[in-house]
Amino acid sequence: MKLNPYLAIILASTIGGSSGVFIKLLDLPATSITFFRMFVPVAVLLVYFLLNKTRLFRGHYGIMLVASGLNATRMFLFFIGYLYTTIGNAVIILFTWPIFAAIFSAMFLKEKVSVRTATLIGLAFTGIVVMYMDKEISLGNRDFIGMAAMLFSAMIFAITAVIFKKKLTYYSRTETIFYQNLIGALVFLPFIFINTPPPSLLQFSVASLYGFLIGIVAFLLFFLALRKLKMSHYSLFTYWEVLAAVFFGAVFFGEAITANMIIGGGLILLSGILLRKQRKPATVHANHVLAPESGRKKEGDGR
């Protein structure tokens, strides 16, 4: 696929930033949207694996399934976040995940936390506080619920990122994406039949398109960019997703950009950008898992 890597990552981040528009326009329960988002990549990749006779359940698949279960919870909270608060609030809170990844890496992978990292973590949490300052802390406040759901989603994503990072040398990128979505596709399948009214043909089609764009197309574009760009450039350009999401929120729903969002969001995004520029591991994006293939054994070797 011959495509400029910078254009590829901008396209991928723009697709990611469109999530809020799809979610709000679909007008489906979070459980139904979660199913479509996770089932479509699983179905497409399962066909791919069957055609290539790939043996899936091998090696350390147990821990991968645990991470998949966590990811199912994360995706459900992700959609609750977008449904309950503005697209701008949701996407900024979502990008706190690099901060939590740094914390969990220090806790579970014993990575050293430098003074610089600790300072950036503190700066990011200051940004979170600023964003919440103009929100009523109440279970009856939709903004508060949505932002809290997205914050927990970012935390869980950071945990799964740590798990996938430890196991990425055993599985290909496509296998990792398959595992990432598998449990969610199974767990949320019944809700398609439980939720009433059932999705219309239009909703079914658009939700499937959304799952394909986010789960397959954006993943391939991010992968293409990751192969050709420096990690510092790649990490910086993924933040285009925030700008795209805020833009879509303003255009499609007339969402206001508040002072708290600018100040708090600026602190969060600046912290994330600086933190990711100093770290050079395999990169895990908010909607996709990407990692180098080096050192990986051949398919079906019995691991």
Q: What is residue 258's predicted lDDT score, i.e. its pLDDT?
A: 87
Label residue 138 by pLDDT band (50, 70, 90).
low
Give yes or no for a contact between 88 and 246, defined as CB atoms under 8 angstroms apart.
yes
Residue with tokens 């050709």: 228
pLDDT digits (tens, 9 = 90+) for 113-133: 788 888 888 888 899 889 888
Greatest mean pLDDT among 194-203, 211-220, 222-231: 194-203
pLDDT score for 232: 62
Q: How many CB atoms lie within 10 A of CB 193?
A: 8
Length of the chain: 303
Angle between helices 97-108 and 259-278 (to 10 degrees): 40
Per-residue pLDDT, 169:
67
Q: Is 138 exposed, middle or buried (0-12, 13-18, 19+ CB in 10 A)?
A: exposed
Name which of 265, 32, 259, 248 is nearest 147 in CA terms: 265
Residue 168: what pLDDT?
Answer: 59
pLDDT digits (tens, 9 = 90+) for 7-45: 998 999 999 999 999 999 999 999 999 999 999 999 999
Look at residue 163 in the predicted model and tell me its pLDDT. 75
- pLDDT band for 112, please (50, 70, 90 cuts): confident
The rounded distance, in Å, linking the Cα atoms of 116 and 261 is: 24
Q: What pLDDT, on a 0 to 100 scale, did the predictor assign at position 135?
A: 72
Give percent above pLDDT 90 in the chain.
45
Tens of pLDDT, residue by residue over 261-284, are 899 999 988 888 887 766 544 444
Q: Look over the chain and give the mean of its residue pLDDT values, rounded to a whole number.
A: 84
H helical segments located in 95-171? 97-108, 115-132, 142-167
Contact by Cβ (8 Å): 93, 43: no
Q: Calculate mean pLDDT across residues 161-165.
A: 71
Q: Tell me the sheet residues that pair with 133.
A: none
- Name the residue with higher pLDDT: 111 or 92: 92
Beta-ladder partners of 289: 284
pTM, rounded to two decimals = 0.82
* Residue 64 clears pLDDT 90, i.e. is over it: no
- Least Cα distance to 235 among 225, 245, 244 occurs for 225
